[in-house]
Amino acid sequence: MSAGEGRGRFWGVGVGPGDPELVTLKAARLIGAADVVAYHAGVGKQSNARRIAADLIPDGCVEECLTYPVTTGSTAHPGGYAGALADFYAEAAARLAAHLDAGRDVVLLAEGDPLFYGSFMYMHDALAERFETVVVPGVPAFAAATAAVAWPLVRQTDVLTVLPGTLPEPELARRLADTDGAVIMKLGRTFPAVRRALAAAGRLEHAMYVERASTGAERAMPVADVDPGTVPYFSLVVVNGDSVHGTGRRDAAPVRTVADPQVRPAHELVVVGLGPGPDGWLTPEASQALAGVDHVVGYAPYVHRVPQRAGLTRHASGNGVEIDRARAALDLARSGERVAVVSGGDAGVFGMATAVLEAADDPAYDGVDVRVVPGLSAVQAVAARAGAPIGGDFAVVSLSDRLKPWSVVERRLRALAEADLVVAVYNPASRSRTEQVVAAQKLLLEHKTPDTVVVVGRDVGRAEESLVVTTLAGLDAGSIDMKCLVLVGASSTRVDRAGRVWTPRWVQP
């Protein structure tokens, strides 16, 4: 590779996981013809990338060792760890840019693959817009680790998930339970939390630890047998994709948590309301019910709210398939499994309880007992945030016309308005339903005064929570979506001097 005229070319070259024989022919050719070879290294350490490519670097080649200022989160830099690394990457990019501006081609060595958890990406971000940049893929570490244990990581339609061990432990457990095959990178100090997450997901017995894959120091063993104090950064975990289907190489039975058979029926399906969002709004009865099942079935966002633990299998599905979901849960319960179907809010308020009971009416499920566990409803949560707007008589209605004609919704809204009830409006709008809330506002204004108090609660109980108190005439219908619950007051509903909304218990004749 000659310098040529003008600016040099920047190459990001993957050198594989450690074994020099796993360097690709293209990578070897480019390294051998380089004007400048650059590589990263830790403080006081040799570069692993350079060690892999040592025999390929030509004599007389300029070498640039880019030494990290820190390799942990501890630093005296005023910008902290992130600030120290940002300055380092800027300085490293400037060093390489000087060579490129001088017409020298630069090969930056990357362990594994340059674009897979690699430092090359930061140099690419800094230099690719100014210089011609080419990426040469390399064998990633997880491929070498999988080969070392000779496990079928994924087959056919299996899903492979690559996870950093730095994820929060509950999130790591959730993702491990929801995938087939998995690779967990970035171990070292994170290993104890990773092992706990594997156990919680019921995947520990099918997880293999691989250290320094493809090198002479390679070590592989079951994760359960690893001494956490010996785990280096250059290690990872491989989780057998077959294990999720019960065909993994290790045959340990999953851990199961079940309720007392003397108290609970042999074939029971429990329907659980999770509340509107915060863990603190999950009732003790709901928590106890979830702790006693082996399967959780539901709409994916609700299933993901149930903490993963050993022995728990989660069955997440999309919206609009409630009856199919209910039948699948009933089939599990009929086979003797302990099953919970989950809903947000209260399962009996526009939730899964009705769908389960509808499906359970089939004689095929006569042997399955259905138990419904109540939850805090969204209308209660929004009302509490506002004050006490449902302190008097109130009604609940859904604006969705997916399961009933819009003419029925209009008739019911008109009757509720004429009865002067507080009305809690669920499912006010969606991406495909934007006109109903406008039509409902117009209809209600025919029977209620323009200054009727209206409360709009969005994502109540969550970080994005907002609460707006307005009037029926002032309601911005275009701002309403499926994350909202709307409370339309009665003629007696009022807002006090502190901004609290309440409806008297008494009604004047």
pLDDT at 73: 57
Residue 195 near residue 225 (C-beta atoms within 8 A): no
Q: Say if residue 155 is in the same domain as residue 272.
A: no
| 272 and 345 housed in the same domain | yes
Question: Based on the domain organization, do 76 and 173 belong to the same domain?
Answer: no
* Residue 152 CA, distance from chain mean position: 25
- Give the pLDDT confidence score for residue 244 in this predicted structure: 61
Query: Of 85, 108, 139, which marks where a domain is finished?
Result: 139
Q: Residue 159's domain is classified under what CATH number?
A: 3.30.950.10
pLDDT of residue 434: 77
- Has residue 4 been placed in a domain? no
Asked whether residue 316 is assigned to any structural domain, the reply reads: yes
Q: Please check whether residues 122 and 235 belong to one and the same domain.
A: no
Whether residue 48 sits in one domain with residue 124:
yes
Are 172 and 211 found together in one domain? yes
pLDDT, mean over the chain = 89
Burial of 211 (C-beta count, 10 Å sphere; 0-12/13-18/19+): buried
* CA pair distance 306, 274, nearest whole angstrom: 9
Q: Is the pLDDT of residue 246 over 60?
A: no
- Domain endpoint, select from 373, 407, 428: 373
Same domain for 202 and 304, yes or no, is no
Establish if 400 belongs to a structural domain.
yes
Number of domains in the chain: 4
pLDDT at residue number 1: 41
Range with lowest mean pLDDT among 27-36, 305-314, 450-459: 305-314
Mean pLDDT is highest, among 74-78, 166-170, 354-358, for 354-358
Q: Taking the C-alpha atoms of 203, 245, 251 and 234 in order, what is their torsion angle to the nearest 10 degrees?
A: -40
Check which CATH number belongs to the domain holding 275 and give it: 3.40.1010.10
User: Which of the four pLDDT bands, split at 50, 70 and 90, describes residue 374?
Assistant: very high
Bridge partners for 179 per DSSP: none
87: domain range?
10-139
Shared-domain flag, residues 430 and 353: no
Pair (21, 99) in one structural domain: yes
pLDDT score of 262 more than 50:
no
Residues 21 and 125 both lie in one domain? yes
- Domain boundary (112, 139, 166) is at 139
pLDDT at residue 177, as a whole number:
87
Average pLDDT over residues 47-68: 94
Give mean pLDDT, residues 334-345: 94
Instruction: Please tell me the distance from the alpha carbon of residue 485 to that of residue 425, in angstroms, as a whole number.
Output: 6
Q: For 91-132, how does the pLDDT look when each residue is reduced to its tens digit (9 = 90+)?
A: 999 999 999 999 999 999 999 999 998 889 999 999 999 999
Question: Whole-angstrom Cα distance, residue 354 to residue 360?
Answer: 10
Residue 266's pLDDT band (cuts 50, 70, 90): low
452: left (phi over 0), alpha (psi -120 to 50) or beta: beta
The whole-number pLDDT of residue 256 equals 30
Query: Could you read off the pLDDT of 379-429 as tens digits, one per residue?
Result: 999 999 999 999 999 999 999 888 889 999 999 999 999 999 999 999 998
pTM, entire model: 0.64
Residue 509 forms part of a structural domain:
no
462 occurs within a structural domain? yes
Q: Do 445 and 349 share a structural domain?
A: no
Tell me if 267 sits within 8 A of 337, measured CB to CB. no
Percentage of the chain lying above the pLDDT 90 cut: 72
Residue 354 lies in a domain: yes
Instruction: Provide the pLDDT for residue 72.
Output: 62
Is residue 156 a part of any domain in this protein? yes
**Does 87 reside within a domain?**
yes
Residues 240 and 272 in one domain: no
> How many Cβ atoms sit within 10 Å of the Cβ of residue 244?
23
